[in-house]
Amino acid sequence: MQQLEVINILKNDLNFTDQSIEKLKKFTNFVLRENKRYNLIAKSTENQIWERHILDSAQLVKFINFSSSSLADLGTGAGFPGLVIEMFNKNKAFHVKLYEKSMVKRKFLIRVIKDLRLKAEVLGDVRDEKLDSDIIVCRAFKKLDNLIQVSREIAKKPHKLIILKGQNAQEEINKSFKSKKYPYKLEKSITNINSKIILMDID
């Protein structure tokens, strides 16, 4: 899936505005340019950045209540999915927080936010910071049982977890729910038929 095809899906299926699309174009150029110096995304995925990173992140907007006060992206890396969600967001009161332990990536995120005039806050490792958002998203952070531990021990209650996972999503859920079960739903990813999105309510 190339750029034009992805942009059509973003506009027609996910309701991204032309202004948001322009920001996404600048963002992808920024990522690809800086990826020559820093390992922001896997080099093997550069040619598929619009599908593998932009659309994969963007599909989460379907599951987000933007009337909430804030969203936390754990292990955001180069800003996926947090910055993509922020570029879609139309509610000025909605606040995106990006948690990233790599100083190199944090500096990159700060530059992008400034250049694109985004409303997002960059924070360090989640275990060293306050985690007080209504919604927590993550894409390639940790195994589900570790994530649930962070969610249970550090995050404010209640909150919603939205997690992008591969084909082993159900298996990870089964392992993670040995001590306590949480209400959850599994949704299909639009970028990979084997991947899933886990939606979970933690209280």
Give the residues across from 162 on adjacent strands.
137, 199
| Per-residue pLDDT tens over the stretch 49-96 | 999 999 999 999 999 999 999 999 999 999 999 999 999 999 999 999
Domains of the chain by range and CATH?
3-202 (3.40.50.150)
Cβ–Cβ < 8 Å for 126, 74: yes
pLDDT (0 to 100) of residue 56: 97
Q: Residues near 133 by Cβ (< 8 Å), separated by ≥ 6? A: 68, 69, 70, 71, 72, 95, 97, 155, 156, 159
Token look-up 């599994």 returns: 186
pLDDT (0 to 100) of residue 148: 86
pLDDT (0 to 100) of residue 142: 75
| Per-residue pLDDT tens over the stretch 101-151 | 999 999 999 999 999 999 999 999 998 999 999 999 999 777 888 888 888
| Per-residue pLDDT tens over the stretch 136-194 | 999 977 788 888 888 888 998 899 999 999 888 999 898 888 778 889 999 999 999 99
